[in-house]
């Protein structure tokens, strides 16, 4: 398929930091939140508790059989969430919240601990559930990268913009809002989506279902939710979510394939669908099938918002320049938004042989967050943290380089819908702008 390159580099205006903006989870409210969760804990009259041996101890049916047979899901443990409370640096989180409002911070000092917890959760999952196997591509190694990518705010800002756009487009008078997220990865997008839904629909019940075929991704998401004290439960098969009890009280994680999961759902049930770099890894044929299936499962006017890398751009950043921008973030405003280096050739099956543009310097709204945060860290003499930030941007650019040829970019999803008049999807035009190396798509169901 020929790509009509929809975008030319253009200048953004640089926005100032907005100290008024709302937070992910106010760190200072955490203690209070935890107390109310303790009350919730007492309500958990679930059979898991009785059978408890260690921390997670339910025996679930094989993932091959898709029937739940009344077996309860794995649920979060309040004591495990509490574990993170005294480790978090609330002052640092407050500062991050001012610089990168709405974006969750996991202190880099906890990276090792976080990854150890993932290992532990995964081992327990394997021990207690039949048929758990790592997914080749999305295994432990990738979790380290998916998690590492989110340690810098630049990577998450686009997902946050797209989440806000999705949430703005969910309009419902019903008491319950049901949303599916495809591919939570290590849970950064899940945290932001969950928070934005609660922020907009304060008086409604939220049912968020995040589905991922990789057990490694699911345990990493469990961990991210633990870090932010958010109750979760995990279904080990792609069940019909209307059978899940108390789904409003948790973020509901599901181990399953996107299409199989979608097929198992009730018709006209969901108010929205979201995926940040998740459905991007479907083939065109799989994408077409998913669009078809979820058009039946969504309610009239349910939006779908997705994003992906743009296979026609890659990023190779100059470390000295990153250092310069971190020391003098105010000078960045005068710099061109993108500086290009020597291009390369695409191996994407959709754009084989075409030129991929290389960006060597980036000064956009997203990178501002990175420079401003680094500047804050330097001003506080947090040099080790600052070095970790440089490392995390390297993870992001490595991921862009290595993944971009595999994606079915979001603008091709838009093209699919524009070309296929039989879809009940219509294209939403006023999407948030993305950096050049990312692309997004917004659709709405018209039934």
* 287 near ligand SAM, rule: CB under 6 A: no
Q: Which of 408, 48, 100, 83 is nearest to 416 (CA)?
A: 408
Nearest distance in Å: CB 203, ligand SAM: 28
Member of 215, 278, 409, 435 binding ligand SAM (CB under 6 A):
278
| C-alpha dihedral sign at 292, 302, 277, 340 | positive
**Binding to ligand SAM (CB under 6 A): which residues in 223-252?**
none
Closest residue to ligand SAM, judged by C-beta, is 185
Looking only at the bridges linking them, the beta strands covering 338-340 and 272-276 are unpaired
Q: Which is nearer to ligand SAM, 307 or 337 (CB)?
A: 307
* 265 near ligand SAM, rule: CB under 6 A: no
Member of 72, 185, 215, 298 binding ligand SAM (CB under 6 A):
185
* 188 near ligand SAM, rule: CB under 6 A: yes
* 311 near ligand SAM, rule: CB under 6 A: no
Member of 129, 161, 162, 217 binding ligand SAM (CB under 6 A):
217
Q: Which residues of 269-289 are buried (b: 16+ CB within 10 A; e: fewer)?
A: bbbbbbbbbbbbbbeeeebbb
Contacting residues for 113 by C-beta, under 8 A, at least 6 apart: 87
Q: Which is nearer to ligand SAM, 276 or 346 (CB)?
A: 276
Q: φ, ψ for residue 351 (rounded to 5)?
A: -135, 30
Q: Which is nearer to ligand SAM, 154 or 375 (CB)?
A: 154
Give the C-alpha distances (Å, rounded to integers) separating 40 from 181, 200, 250, 329, 352: 25, 23, 11, 45, 54
* 183 near ligand SAM, rule: CB under 6 A: yes
* 184 near ligand SAM, rule: CB under 6 A: yes
**Pair of tokens at residue 154:** 């630049």
Q: What's the rounded Cα separation, in Å, for the pair 111 and 347?
A: 33
Contacting range for ligand SAM; rule: CB under 6 A; set: 123-131, 198-206, 212-220, 347-355 = 212-220
Q: φ, ψ for residue 4 (rounded to 5)?
A: -90, 110
Q: What's the rounded Cα separation, in Å, for the pair 228 and 250?
A: 13
* 148 near ligand SAM, rule: CB under 6 A: no
Q: Which is nearer to ligand SAM, 261 or 373 (CB)?
A: 261
Member of 281, 370, 376, 411 binding ligand SAM (CB under 6 A):
281
Member of 122, 138, 273, 370 binding ligand SAM (CB under 6 A):
138
Q: Which three-class secondary structure state does DSSP give residue 431?
A: coil
With vertex at residue 148, the alpha carbon angle to CA 144 and CA 153, rounded to the nearest 5 degrees, is 160
- Residues 159-178: x where in contact with ligand SAM by CB under 6 A, - otherwise, as a string: x-------------------
Q: Which three-class secondary structure state does DSSP give residue 273?
A: strand
Query: Which residues of the chain form contacts with ligand SAM (CB under 6 A)?
Result: 135, 138, 146, 159, 183-185, 188-189, 212-214, 217, 257-258, 276-278, 281-282
């Amino acid at each position: 398929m020929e790509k009509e390159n929809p975008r030319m580099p253009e200048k953004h205006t640089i926005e100032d930091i907005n100290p008024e903006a709302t937070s992910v989870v106010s760190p200072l409210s955490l203690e209070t939140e935890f107390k109310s969760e303790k009350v919730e804990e007492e309500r958990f009259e679930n059979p898991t508790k009785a059978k408890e041996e260690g921390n997670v101890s339910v025996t679930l049916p094989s993932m091959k059989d898709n029937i739940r047979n009344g077996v309860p899901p794995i649920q979060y443990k309040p004591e495990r969430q509490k574990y993170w409370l005294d480790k978090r640096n609330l002052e640092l989180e407050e500062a991050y919240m001012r610089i990168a409002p709405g974006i969750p911070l996991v202190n880099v000092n906890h990276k090792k601990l976080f990854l150890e917890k993932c290992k532990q959760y995964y081992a327990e999952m394997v021990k207690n559930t039949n048929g758990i196997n790592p997914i080749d591509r999305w295994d432990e190694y990738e979790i380290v990268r998916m998690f590492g990518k989110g340690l810098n705010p630049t990577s998450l800002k686009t997902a946050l913009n797209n989440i806000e756009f999705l949430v703005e487009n969910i309009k419902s008078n019903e008491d319950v809002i049901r949303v599916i997220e495809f591919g939570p990865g290590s849970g950064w997008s899940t945290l932001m989506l969950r928070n934005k839904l609660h922020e907009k629909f304060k008086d409604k019940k939220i049912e968020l279902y995040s589905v991922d075929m990789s057990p490694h991704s699911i345990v990493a998401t469990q961990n991210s939710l633990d870090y932010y004290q958010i109750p979760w439960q995990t279904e080990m098969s792609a069940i019909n979510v209307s059978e899940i009890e108390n789904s409003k009280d948790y973020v509901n994680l599901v181990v399953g394939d996107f299409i199989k999961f979608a097929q198992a759902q009730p018709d006209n049930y969901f108010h929205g669908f979201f995926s940040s770099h998740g459905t991007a890894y479907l083939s065109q044929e799989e994408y077409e099938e998913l669009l078809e299936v979820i058009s039946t499962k969504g309610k009239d006017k349910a939006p779908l918002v997705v994003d992906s890398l743009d296979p026609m751009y890659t990023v190779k950043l100059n470390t000295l320049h990153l250092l310069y921008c971190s020391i003098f973030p105010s000078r960045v405003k005068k710099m061109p938004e993108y500086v290009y280096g020597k291009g390369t050739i695409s191996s994407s099956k959709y754009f084989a042989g075409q030129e991929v543009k290389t960006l060597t310097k980036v000064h956009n709204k997203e990178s501002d967050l990175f420079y401003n945060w680094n500047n804050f860290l330097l001003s506080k003499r947090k040099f080790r943290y600052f070095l970790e930030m440089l490392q995390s941007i390297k993870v992001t650019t490595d991921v862009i380089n290595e993944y971009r040829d595999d994606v079915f970019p979001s603008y091709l999803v838009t093209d699919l819908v524009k070309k296929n008049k039989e879809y009940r999807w219509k294209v939403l035009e006023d999407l948030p702008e993305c950096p050049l190396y990312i692309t997004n798509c917004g659709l709405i169901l018209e039934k």
